[in-house]
Amino acid sequence: MVDASFALPAAIDLAIVGAGPHALTLVTHLLQKKKSMRGRFIVFDPSGQWMSQWNHQFAALEIPHLRSPAVHHPDPDPHALRTFAERRPNELFPPYDLPGTRLFQNFCQEVVRRWQLQTYVYPAQVVQIQPLSDRRSRFRLELSDGQTTVARRVVIANGGGRLHLPEWVEQISQNYPSDNAPHRWRERLLHSHQIDLRESHLRGERVLIIGGGLTSGHLAVGAIQRGAQVLLMSRRNVYEKLFDADPGWLGPKYLKDFWAEPNWYTRWQMIQQARNGGSMTPAMLTQLRRLERDGKITFYEQCQVSQAQWIGDAWQICCTNSAVHECIHHQSINRIWLATGSQLDSTTHPLLQQVLNAHPIEIVNGLPIVDEYLRWRGCELFVMGGLAALRVGPTARNLSGARATSDRIVSALTKASLSFSNR
pLDDT in tens, 269-302: 999 999 888 899 999 999 999 999 999 999 999 9
Domains along the sequence of the chain with CATH:
11-161+344-422 (3.50.50.60), 163-241+276-342 (3.50.50.60)
Our separate counts of H helices and E strands in the chain read: 14, 20
Q: Quick one: CA dihedral 86, 89, 94, 99, positive or negative? A: negative
- pLDDT for the residue 103: 98
Average pLDDT value for residue range 108-130: 97
Nearest-CA neighbor of 1 among 43, 63, 54?
43
Cβ pair 405, 388 in contact under 8 A:
yes
Residues 108, 376, 271: CA angle, nearest 5 degrees: 70
Task: Give the residue ranges of DSSP H helices in 130-203.
Answer: 167-170, 183-186
List, for residues 32-48, the tens digit of each pLDDT value: 999 999 999 999 999 99
The string of pLDDT tens digits covering residues 213-255 is 999 999 999 999 999 999 999 999 999 999 988 999 988 899 9
What's the pTM value of the predicted model, to 2 decimals? 0.94
Our CA angle for 260, 344, 14, nearest 5°, is: 85
Q: pLDDT at residue 1 above 60?
A: no
Q: Per-residue pLDDT tens for 370-416? A: 999 999 999 999 999 999 999 999 999 999 999 999 999 999 999 87
| pLDDT on residue 271 | 96
